[in-house]
Structure 1
Amino acid sequence: MGHYFQRFVEGKNLSALFLADATTAHIVGFSRQWPSPHPGAPFRYGGAVRLRRYDRGRASQIETWLSAMTQRAGLVGLCSADFIEAENGLSLIEINPRPGATLDIFDSDATPLLREHLRAVAGASITVPAYRGSAASAIAYTNRPIRAFPPVDWPAMTADHQTSGTALGAGDPVCTVFASASSAAAAERAVRHRVRTLAINWEEDFA
């Protein structure tokens, strides 16, 4: 036990967040994820960026597929679908019938996604948010053991903070970091830079 096998598929990852109402899948948006490799966990989750644009024809095709899946499985509420995108098309990896890791980069003050999730579950009408620009999130990890996590004056655009005094092992998560920008590439660069900058707080002399 403790092992599983999964066939490797060459290509770029793509995730679709959608609101399901048991008959139709309403695409909220698309994102791409990246790994943060660690010994023993080469595909450890690193972060995700919300795409500002995605091919309309392919997006429509995905929405048709997901609507068929929604009808067959009776999906309701926020769900996500993960794909591998290659030259010969898309491979569906999995369906997550729940809010996923990318929820924060798709949430909207004007149209809160958890509200729309609850409305979909209750069978009420739903609204899909509209977006401008892009947003990204990333997990900051510690690269080495820390006997007592130091106090940190956490800046804005961070969440899920480790508590000072906590003992951490190498590879444990420290916090979630966010960034927004006019494009997906700029948002991803910004969030990666923030992770590196924040790590100074716990990667120096706190072992």
Structure 2
Amino acid sequence: MLRLPVQDAAPQPLTESAGDFITIPRPTDSSDQWIPKVRVPTPEGALAQLKALSEVALNGVDPAVVDRAYRELQLPGAPDPGMSVPHSTAADLRLAARMASSGPVPGLTATYEVTHGLVKGIGDQGRFTVVCVLGELVVDYRGATAKGGLGECQSMRLTDEGWRISPTAPAAPAPSAWPGSAPALRAGYRELRDAP
């Protein structure tokens, strides 16, 4: 994958020509679910599942929550959640701000909204795919706000329960760019839109 300099993740102007968009299905099972499940057997379904997972996992930038969320969607033998970009991002942010390594922190709020994605590859007659999502991470701590683009790639396997993280080697790290910017477009990201 294209490697981007760290400054490409900072807020910057959006490109006027964002290219084609990708329509993703809505979760097929979201009632009483911590992480909404997607059972649509397409690469777009895998993108929708990774979007749902990433948005839940990064809420509060807590590495323990990230790990719990990823374990909920892992197949046996999948990569350790501690190796994921969301885990390292949450841990690094807390360390840099001298916060507790996990758990609630008074005055800390964090949201992650996925807006873009890409399909890196498809195999096993569509039952295996590597997908990447890109979104805007906003962290506010006692009135100081920081924001940036964050990308995440995962190898996904379709099961009877829907898309799950596959027991394969970890996917190559996703390029992080400001969503909708020229660097994001160069990396192959396209806007994600929910199906009607």
Q: Using structure 1 for the length normalisation, give the TM-score.
A: 0.29
Q: TM-score, normalised by structure 2?
A: 0.30
Which structure has the bigger radius of gyration? 1
